[in-house]
Structure 1
Amino acid sequence: MVGAILSGGLVGLVFGFILQRSRFCMTGGFRDMYIARDNTLFYAFVIAITVESLGVISLWKLGYLANPYEDYSVLGAIVGSYLFGIGIVLAGGCATGTWYRAGEGLIGSWVALFFYMLSASSMKYGALKPLNDFLAKHWVISDNLPKSLGISVWYFVSLLVIISLVLVIREYRRPKPRVASLPTRYKGLRHWLFEKTYHKYWAGFAIGLIALIAWPASQATGRIGGLGITTPSANLITYATTGDSHLLNWGVFLVIGIFMGSFLAAKGAGEFRWRLPDLKTIGKSVIGGILMGIGASWAGGCTIGNGLTATAVISSKGWIALPVTILGVWTASYFIFVRPTQK
């Protein structure tokens, strides 16, 4: 338990700090691809996947990590990821985005987070478990994509590395526009931690390293896997209502750490403040949180569990879930932000 608290909490603390300081939420990233035709955050996400993939596959092949593959329902991944994509737009943030924005004092994110945790807990352990199990029985395959195709996993990893290198080289060759800068408020380390703006690609690289470290850190406590948000969130609220200490694993302290890291970052930058949204936004947060919990449970992961962790090990579940989640975000963005003209 002590090891889980220390390593899970520390990884989460750093993760939450970086998420808050870089404003790294893939709800906005996926939405920007459609609304603003801006792929910057998505490309940073690809870099994070690449960094994690290169490290995790190497550790697995060297025998330091357990087999990362498992069986899953393709139907669950498709239906769940689509619902999850719609839900994160309504909630105003993905799973990690909701956690770190709650740490900034956004009441709407607290509401979305509560219903996300509650619905995920109900799907995994409560009244909605039969609904969760229903899809889990259909179209079940192994998520080991390279083995299924008879192709070495290193071909996929190499492709990711090439794509990421092209993205980075192209970015640094692009002429940099002049941007007016505000006078600095802080000096020294405080300026670097709480005020300086870093390129999203650097944030992606740092998140990839954190995602990589999560694998051996988690395995050392007996939990096989990397970063994950939905099951730990469900476990946390279930523990709060049942007192079952078996639910308190590495992942639970990870999500608590994300919240604390974001809070410390927001306080240090002078960005923490309680913000109460209007009733319409609260209503969206409730619906969005419920869809997030149901969708992520059906899909077997969220933007982090599927979109980052599963894709990094070249899991077919991850590479199905990621584009379907993006499609869900675009669908919700169309009706919420770009509604068709009424005649």
Structure 2
Amino acid sequence: MKLKSNIPSVKNFFGIILVLFISVLVSDKVKDQSEVLYLSLWLGISFGIVLQRSRFCFYCLSRDFIEKSNAEGLLGIITSLVVGTLGYHIVFGAFLTEPIFPHLPPNAHISPVSFVLLLGSFSFGFGMAIAGSCISAQLYRLGEGLVSSLFAFVGIIIGFILAFRIWNYFYLNIIYDAPVVWFPHHFGYMGSVVVQLTLMSVFAILLFKFHKKQKKEEISFWWKIKWPTYVGGILVGIIGMVAFFRITPLGVTAEIGSISRNTAEYFNIMPLRLEGFDTLRGCITVVKNVFWTNNGLFIFGLVLGSFAAAVFSEDFKIQIPNVHEVKNSFIGGLFMGFGSMIALGCTVGNLLSGIMAASLSGWIFLIFCALGLYLGWIIKNKIRVN
């Protein structure tokens, strides 16, 4: 494939210019607060660009493997986990010289392992299959002009509120005594790296075994070419490491959960308290009245970055959904919101950040999320055929 050396049109740079302008406005707004807030914005922008250009959507990449035996996308996810695991273990030493039980590195997404985690993971995977993409992909596709993402987020917020209503029962009866398993406690830092890389290697070998070579996409303009997923994986791993070291682990549901809590408070349907919630690790939500938070700016930046990348690559297009797409987005959002709340994170905050942190909860999320995804894919395809 020979690429044309044309220079993109001036209109292709509109998104980049707009993002730079908005970043200046945000910088002025947060200059008296913390430079970490501004860094959160730019990490979000970078994350959005990477997700959009490499099509780093957990459901889409999984669907490619199920339907086409194309393992390239899932191997890209494993690449991000390898890079993130190595980076996290370097950072662990700065926070915690010796991984002695029960001490854990600050903010790392290391959650209790219980039936609730299994249920939440399965629900999330099922929901993203019905909705067509996970929460992070809904955000970057919103930046591409996908209007149905808005209906997914309505469902996600309602799903969060439903989960809030039954959280106390889950916590007091199941989560309270559930074990928190961090590999370095059992194997040390070096042993933890070996265990992690061994598990990833096993998954990679299985994916290679079933992979079928795909036909190359014919695109002549360099700015329209999709980035290889392994490149996206490397960059996601690096962004994850930087976020963990400077701010907090990657995640996109803390801000959404906070909006859900505020909404529930407004309608007087929020429990008086969420038992034990603030003592756990993951994408924890809080009741707040400000937008300028680390996770809020990260999500805002993600959409901005995706928008800039989509406009530059000519992928941006306002896509109005039909009734069927609205229904799927909303229902899928319900399951994703419910699942990510009780599992304390989604595919970014739990799968990526959890596995990178050498947490058993991250691996459990991966397995049961995949099972839920597969069931959702089967049901969705049967409905489509009938």
- Output the TM-score relative to the length of structure 1: 0.82
Output the aligned Cα RMSD.
3.1
Aligned 8 A contact 2:147 2:319 in 1: yes
Provide the residue aligned with 1:229 in structure 2.
252
**Partner SS for 2:69:** coil
Provide the residue aligned with 2:168 in structure 1.
133
CA, structure 1 residues 49+107, in 2 after alignment: closer, same or farther (shift >3 Å)?
A: same
Aligned pairs for 1:45-64 (under 5 A) are 45-63=77-95
CA, structure 1 residues 316+164, in 2 after alignment: closer, same or farther (shift >3 Å)?
A: closer
Q: CA deviation at 1:56?
A: 1.0
| Structure 2 residues not aligned, in runs of 5+ | 1-32, 97-104, 267-286
1:303 corresponds to 2:347: yes
2:242 is aligned, of 213, 218, 224, to 213
Counterpart code for 2:193:
V
Counterpart code for 1:98:
Q
* Structure 2 Cα separation of the partners of residues 69 and 31 of structure 1: 27
* Structure 2 Cα separation of the partners of residues 182 and 79 of structure 1: 42
Counterpart code for 1:233:
I
Aligned 8 A contact 1:19 1:100 in 2: yes
Q: How many pairs are equivalent?
A: 319
Provide the residue aligned with 1:94 in structure 2.
134
**Which string of whole-angstrom CA distances, capped at 9 and with x for unpartnered residues, describes residues 98-151 of structure 1?**
00001111111121123213432x25xxxx523123223304434333256x32
Provide the residue aligned with 1:333 in structure 2.
377
Aligned 8 A contact 1:146 1:314 in 2: yes
CA, structure 1 residues 78+163, in 2 after alignment: closer, same or farther (shift >3 Å)?
A: closer
Provide the residue aligned with 2:38 in structure 1.
6
Aligned pairs for 1:250-261 (under 5 A) are 250-261=294-305
* Structure 2 Cα separation of the partners of residues 72 and 247 of structure 1: 29
Provide the residue aligned with 1:157 in structure 2.
193
**Partner SS for 1:304:** helix
1:81 corresponds to 2:121: yes
CA, structure 1 residues 111+36, in 2 after alignment: closer, same or farther (shift >3 Å)?
A: same
CA, structure 1 residues 282+147, in 2 after alignment: closer, same or farther (shift >3 Å)?
A: same
**Which string of whole-angstrom CA distances, capped at 9 and with x for unpartnered residues, describes residues 164-220 of structure 1?**
68959x98xx99877463332xxxxxx4xx4333221111111110111111221xx
Q: CA deviation at 1:238?
A: 5.3
Q: CA deviation at 1:91?
A: 1.3
Give the share of equivalent positions with the same residue, in percent: 23
* Structure 1 Cα separation of the partners of residues 200 and 113 of structure 2: 30
* Structure 2 Cα separation of the partners of residues 285 and 292 of structure 1: 10
**Partner SS for 1:72:** coil
Q: CA deviation at 1:51?
A: 0.7
Counterpart code for 1:37:
S
Provide the residue aligned with 2:75 in structure 1.
43
Provide the residue aligned with 2:269 in structure 1.
none
CA, structure 1 residues 288+268, in 2 after alignment: closer, same or farther (shift >3 Å)?
A: same
CA, structure 1 residues 299+269, in 2 after alignment: closer, same or farther (shift >3 Å)?
A: same
- Output the TM-score relative to the length of structure 2: 0.74
| Structure 1 residues not aligned, in runs of 5+ | 185-190, 219-224
Counterpart code for 1:136:
Y
Counterpart code for 1:141:
A
Q: CA deviation at 1:15?
A: 0.3
Which has the larger displacement, 259-268 or 55-64? 55-64
**Partner SS for 2:106:** coil
Aligned pairs for 1:274-289 (under 5 A) are 274-289=318-333
**Which string of whole-angstrom CA distances, capped at 9 and with x for unpartnered residues, describes residues 215-271 of structure 1?**
1221xxxxxx30011112222465689793367421111111111111111111121
**Partner SS for 1:301:** coil
